[in-house]
Amino acid sequence: MRKLSILFIACISFIFSETVFAQSDAIISKTIKNGLRIELTIVGSKPFRIGGNIHILHIGTKEFSLNKQQNVEGKGFITFYIPVEEYNALTEGEYVWMSYGNKFKKAPDPTVDPASFCKENTNCWALGKFSKAL
């Protein structure tokens, strides 16, 4: 019975630790042009989840998934690679958000602030409005 109790507590701890691990504050820290692509880096206050899904950057109705991810000194770093042509076609002021996996069967209305639905969905980070001045 004692072993079963320990196993149950371990399972519950794992489930809650996964939820807490995936949640962090995140900001767009920099964008740089590197050849024919823009590298947009997001920094999280905690490491971002690493697993079977991928992180997706949403800018308005566009989605970008090609990225490199690192966890360094307790923080998460994800750099998305966006072709310059696609980056230049993005509209100023569109909402920017990131999700872990494409869990949203239908993307939220691009005119609705993602902060509202990211509060209700795990593995979702609202990143503000897009500006090429970044």
Give the pLDDT score at 6: 42
Measured CA angle at 84 (ends 51, 90), to 5 deg: 85
Give the pLDDT score at 1: 58
HEC-encoded secondary structure of 34-76? ECCEEEEEEEECCCCCCCCCCEEEEECCEEECCEEEEEECCEE
Domains located in the chain, CATH noted: 24-129 (2.60.40)
Residue 40 pairs with which residues in a beta bridge? 31, 80
Give the pLDDT score at 4: 46
Cα separation, 112 vs 74, in Å, equals 31
Give the pLDDT score at 107: 61
**For the chain, which ranges sit under pLDDT 70?**
1-24, 103-108, 110, 134
